[in-house]
Amino acid sequence: MKAVVITELGGPEVLQLKEVEDPTVGDDEVLIKVAAAGLNRADAYQREGGHPPPKGCSPYPGLEVSGTIVSLGRNVSPCSPWNIGDQVCTLLGGGGYAEKVAVPAAQLLPVPESVSLRDAACIPEVACTVWSTVFMTSHLSPGESFLIHGGSSGIGTFAIQISKYLGIKVFVTAGSEDKLQACKNLGADVCINYKKEDFAARIKEETEGKGVDVILDNMGGSYLQRNLDSLSIDGRLFILGFQGGTTAELNLSPLLAKRLTIQAAGMRARSPENKAKIVKEVEKNVWPAIVARKVKPIVYKTFPLAEAAEAHRLLETSSHVGKLLLIP
Ligand SMILES: NC(=O)c1ccc[n+]([C@@H]2O[C@H](COP(=O)([O-])OP(=O)(O)OC[C@H]3O[C@@H](n4cnc5c(N)ncnc54)[C@H](OP(=O)(O)O)[C@@H]3O)[C@@H](O)[C@H]2O)c1
């Protein structure tokens, strides 16, 4: 088959389409003929050497795909929920930038009837990440308030939609008026241009000094203090990225005074059992919103698999809203 290979660590130009061996299919896995692969910021980190695939995972980049099942591992009987010919989308430990990929059957999700096979590739990574972090872990609930940093990102565009579906008041940050408008169109209530104003001051003003219940943060160190200052009593901060660095000097007093919780987690290194549990929760809680067309995949641009380098260049300019896809 053909796959995008990281020929050496470096810039987008190191991504090259090559002829490689077909994946071997484990006993509990299925083989998927890929229809589309979603891009994630983590793919660029892997290309640079900062986010290696977990042991046993494909060395090729790509954390999510949609496609059609073409064979079943020995333990995946045709009586299981899955059979040859089924259209699915799935989280991966790697290997999505390819014509075929093998994945544990327990990580599969059906393509929702409201979504095309291609566009379904946008959903698994953002849905599983957002649901497992702010909902399963931080217990973000209807009636609460929620600040999403990077509201126009792949993660952000999904987080806005699922939160509005669940009756949550949504605040977002983004770096341009166009991106803020896109967030507003998806339902965000309060849109803050972090390049023009201090988000912490605006949150204080908008919430009459109370702060928000939950924050989903992609920045890490550079936003840590201001995030704590922006949380309400019993507030929860979930950190899922370090675009603003991994270190910070911190005044701990808001933690004690407001009984705050700080949490962080990555999706890729979780065990297959843990991923399967998250996938089940996502199917139960998120799929109905997608089927009802209240949550839609936001596709910014598609590229042929051979143009993965071009797709990474666009990802790194950060001029997109939503998701980029590669099509084999
Ligand atoms: N922990 C996990 O399991 C997990 C899983 C998936 C993703 N992630 C992380 O989640 C983040 C989003 O991922 P993605 O794939 O959706 O990325 P993406 O689409 O490339 O988005 C990155 C976002 O960062 C925003 N940003 C940059 N500087 C900012 C700042 N100072 N303040 C607020 N936002 C800023 C950009 O917005 P502007 O262009 O408006 O600046 C852009 O929307 C990344 O950090 C990624 O590593 C973590």
Handedness of CA 91, 82, 4, 95 (dihedral sign): positive
Beta-strand pair 29-38/323-327: antiparallel
Q: pLDDT (tens digit, 0 to 9) for every residue of the chain, 328 residues total?
A: 999 999 999 999 999 999 999 999 999 999 999 999 999 999 999 999 998 899 889 999 999 999 999 999 999 987 789 999 999 999 999 999 999 999 999 999 999 999 999 999 999 999 999 999 999 999 999 999 999 999 999 999 999 999 999 999 999 999 999 999 999 999 999 999 999 999 999 999 999 999 999 999 999 999 999 999 999 999 999 999 999 999 999 999 999 999 999 999 999 999 999 999 999 999 999 999 999 999 999 999 999 999 999 999 999 999 999 999 999 9
Instruction: Give the span between the Cα atoms of 121 and 233, in whole angstroms.
Output: 38
- Cβ–Cβ < 8 Å for 84, 43: no
Assess whether the C-beta atom of 40 lies below 6 angstroms from ligand 1. yes
218 C-alpha vs ligand 1 centroid, how far in Å?
5
Assess whether the C-beta atom of 243 lies below 6 angstroms from ligand 1. yes
Of the candidates 40, 45, 26, the one whose C-alpha atom is nearest the C-alpha of residue 101 is 26
Query: Exposure pattern of 53-83 as b/e (b: 16+ CB <10 Å)?
Result: beeeebebbbbbbbbbbeebbeebeeeeebe
Instruction: Give the span between the Cα atoms of 58 and 65, in whole angstroms.
Output: 14
Q: What is the CATH number of domain 138-264?
A: 3.40.50.720
Assess whether the C-beta atom of 129 lies below 6 angstroms from ligand 1. yes
Cβ-proximal residues to 327 (8 Å cutoff; 6+ apart), any chain? 35, 36, 118, 302, 303, 304, 305
153 C-alpha vs ligand 1 centroid, how far in Å?
6
41 C-alpha vs ligand 1 centroid, how far in Å?
7
Angle, alpha carbons 173-242-307 (nearest 5°): 85
Looking from the CA of residue 174, the nearest atom of ligand 1 is 40
Assess whether the C-beta atom of 138 lies below 6 angstroms from ligand 1. no
Looking from the CA of residue 150, the nearest atom of ligand 1 is 34
| Side-chain half-sphere CA neighbours of 133 within 13 A | 29
Of the candidates 215, 157, 155, the one whose C-alpha atom is nearest the C-alpha of residue 185 is 157
Angle, alpha carbons 263-265-268 (nearest 5°): 175
Phi first, then psi, for residue 130 (nearest 5°) are -65, -40
150 C-alpha vs ligand 1 centroid, how far in Å?
5
Ranges of CATH 3.90.180.10 domains, the chain: 2-122+268-327
Ranges of CATH 3.40.50.720 domains, the chain: 138-264
**Residue 63: C-alpha distances to residues 75, 95, 168, 326 (Å):** 24, 7, 28, 12
Which residue(s) pair with 102 in the sheet? 31
- DSSP SS3 for 303: strand
Return the CATH architecture of domain 2-122+268-327: Alpha-Beta Complex (3.90)
23 C-alpha vs ligand 1 centroid, how far in Å?
30
Looking from the CA of residue 318, the nearest atom of ligand 1 is 39
Assess whether the C-beta atom of 173 lies below 6 angstroms from ligand 1. yes
Four-point Cα dihedral 298, 303, 308, 311, nearest 10? -50
